[in-house]
Structure 1
Amino acid sequence: MTPAERPIFDWAFAWDVLPTLMDGLVITVQATVMGMALAVTLGLALALARRAPVKPLAWTAALAIEFVRSTPLLVQLFFLFYVLPVTGVQFSPLTTGVLGLGVHYAAYCAEVYRAGLDAVPRGQWEAALALNLGRWRTLRGIILPQAIPPVIPALGNYFVAMFKDTPLLSAITVVELLQASKIAGSATFRYTEPLTLVGVIFLVLSLAAAAVVRRLEGKR
């Protein structure tokens, strides 16, 4: 069959490359889930550090947050993958990608947490002080249970955004979903099917995740 006779979209070829794309999707999901776990954990630590009574700690946290938010994710990934090994610290491509995604989105999650913490009435802190409760006990038992639930939908939106940013990991040799499609396409010089499937997969999973976020928002 000549190139002119080939169909625009070959369903048989699409089914052939689908298992390869599923392997890439596994890496994409792993990077997203692990990256988000790091982001929500580190983000909370940064938000609490920014509100710490120790000024140098608060200033350092604020500077770190603004620095990460003000630089592109791709530049950060390149730095972690190509520059950091010069100092003797080196990770696998996937670990580097998870670290890059986690740190980048932790800065945004920190601002979300900060908004939630600021929304808790000041009287809650004063009541805890009157009861002679320590700062950590007040945070753990009174403030965080009120601050975190309202910001879960916003954190969910960042989860969706991180999922759609995973193709950037191909720049540091991670064979995620998009990179898997490019490899499959380069073997046969047919890119229509794999790239179309990638777009459909991203669309379906992003819509599903967004629906979950809206459901969580409706339960607030």
Structure 2
Amino acid sequence: MARPSADRDFPYWLVLVVALGLWFCWRIASTDIYLQVLDALAKGVRITVIVTLAGFALASLMGLGLAMASLSRHLALRQAARFYIEIVRGVPIIVLLLYVAFVLAPALVAGWNEIGARIGLEPVRTRDFPFVWRATMALSIGYSAFIAEVFRAGLQSVDEGQVEAAEALGLSPWRRFRHVVFPQAFRRILPPLGNDFVAMVKDSSLVSVLGVADVTQMGKVTAAGNFRYFETYNMVAFIYLVMTISLSLLLRRLERRLRRSHPG
């Protein structure tokens, strides 16, 4: 018996989500306490977006570099990449946030000051390293290990014969990667890469443990001040749902367009 295609199913779930979203928007617009909470959380939305976009961009660059190192012909590069990936993937994100914020960041500042003292630079204080950037660094390090595996699997999925054909045509390694390998690999890694992006949006809420004024932290501060926990955390959940569902739909649409334009 043939299974129904998920792409052909009418998205009844989306209709329900949109209906609930419209109803909640009406509740926000017609209730003073929701409007007050939304105003208090507005700054947190900006911080959440900045942390997520910057963290994912850095994690993707690091992940691509790690994936290429893990596929290198040099044993030392392969082993170093595998060591990093296995160690980082084994550490919970919240532990990594605390480690980067209170161990790695002070160590980097101390190393910078030691180098700066030799060349006459002014010393930098640890508190001059904002927690929002420490949190971004931690998310980048944590997710780079997972994204590296996504890139590695995608790069390995490209038919070796096409790479050999491009090499026979005289293309340099960089041109082979740019014109042959990466375009094909990207179509295959887009779904898992999109999942990691959505997951980072949600995991960005963990930066609140460092006092970073993201949506979750602003929600905690607001609820502690007005004691309206129901309305405040409803709004926090609604904001995250809007961001994650919107991203999921956009990524799914992009995935379908790539599938139609490159059916092979």
Instruction: Settle same-fold status: TM greater than 0.5.
Output: yes
CA RMSD of aligned residues (A): 1.7
Report the Cα offset of residue 153 of structure 1: 2.2
Contact 2:105 2:134 in 1 (8 A): no
Partner residue of 1:153? 191
2:241 aligned residue: 203
Q: Which residue of 1 aligns with 2:36?
A: 16
Q: 1:52 aligns with which of 64, 69, 72?
A: 72
Q: Given that residues 187 and 255 in structure 2 are in contact (C-alpha distance below 8 angstroms), is that contact kept between their aligned partners in structure 1?
A: no
Measured in 1, the distance between the counterparts of 2:105 and 2:139 equals 18
CA distance, structure 1, for counterparts of residue 42 and residue 192 of structure 2: 28
**1:34 is matched with which residue: 54, 63, 67?**
54
2:202 aligns with 164
Distance change in 2, residues 1:98/1:48 (3 Å): same
Residues 1:94 and 2:94 aligned together: no
Matches within 5 A, 1:59-138: 59-89=79-109, 90=126, 91-138=129-176
Q: Whole-Å Cα distance in 2 between the matches of residues 28 and 111 of structure 1?
A: 25
Say whether 1:173 aligns with 2:193.
Answer: no
Distance 1:56 1:93, change over 3 A: same
Instruction: Kindly tell me the number of residue pairs found equivalent between the two proteins.
Output: 212
Partner AA of 1:117 in structure 2: L
Question: How many Å separate the matches in 2 of 1:133 and 1:178?
Answer: 50
Query: Is the contact made by 1:153 and 1:216 (CA closer than 8 Å) also made in structure 2?
Result: no
* 1:173-210 residue CA offsets vs partner (Å, 9 max, x unmatched): 10100110110111122222111100111112211111
What is the match of residue 140 of structure 1?
178
Deviation readout 1:43-65 (Å, 9 max, x if unpaired): 11110011111110111011111
**Partners in 1 of 2:191 and 2:106 — Cα distance?**
39
Higher relative contact order (CA 8 A, sep 6+): 1
Tell me the residue number matched to 1:5. Answer: none
What is the identity, as a one-letter code, of the residue corresponding to 1:77?
L
Alignment identity in percent?
A: 39
Q: Secondary structure at the match of 1:148?
A: helix
SS in 2 for 1:120: coil
